Amino acid sequence: MGERRMNIIAFDIARVTGVAIMRTDLDEISLGTIELPGKRGRNKIQHSETFLVFNNEVVEMLDLVRPGAIAFEDLAINAHSVRYMSGDWIRLYCGLRAILLMQAESAKVSWLPITVQQIKKRATGNGNAKKDEVLEAAKNMWPKYDITDHNEADACWCALVARDILAGAG
């Protein structure tokens, strides 16, 4: 029995969001980034415009790609990790994650949270690898693509981990 054909859209959620679109039955991947706006106000970044832009981008991608699954790098936000993250960044990440999940549910598309450790382990064999090692591994894995930063690299690996999970190998 052949592998089921499916498009996967993978996201590395951040102010510059990495995006990878993978066709599970082909050795093809499309990648890029979404650069989200941010405005400062009253010593905080105002996220309303950021959320609107991200929502519109996700809706448009879902319409064009019609994925069978969405995957995203899922960060563990807990009492230990918040010491190393700004409150503003946590609000941004959680808002973007909520939009992504809301749109996935609305489009009846399954979603897979992929941990940072899963991405690093798939990329390098080491769940504690550095960002540069993950980027270099992506450039080696997909040499015909111009992977320019860790956002794109993480999204590519996220898509690959999701494909492995969906194929029962992850």
Task: Write out pLDDT tens, residues 84-131.
Answer: 566 777 888 889 999 999 999 999 999 999 999 999 999 999 999 999
Summary mean pLDDT of the chain: 87
CATH number of 7-166: 3.30.420.10
Cα–Cα distance measured from residue 51 to residue 54, given in angstroms and rounded to the nearest whole number: 5
Q: Check pLDDT > 50 for residue 7.
A: yes
Rounded-to-10 torsion of CA 84, 78, 115, 88 = -50
Overall average pLDDT of the 53-64 stretch: 96
Q: Where are the domains of the chain?
A: 7-166
Closest CA to 26 of 4, 52, 53: 4
Task: Write out pLDDT tens, residues 68-85.
Answer: 999 999 986 555 555 556
* Structural tokens at position 141: 């894995």
Least confident of 39-53, 86-100, 141-155: 39-53
Per-residue confidence band for 40, with pLDDT thresholds at 50, 70 and 90: low
Query: What is the pLDDT at residue 47?
Result: 81
Query: What is the pLDDT at residue 170?
Result: 60
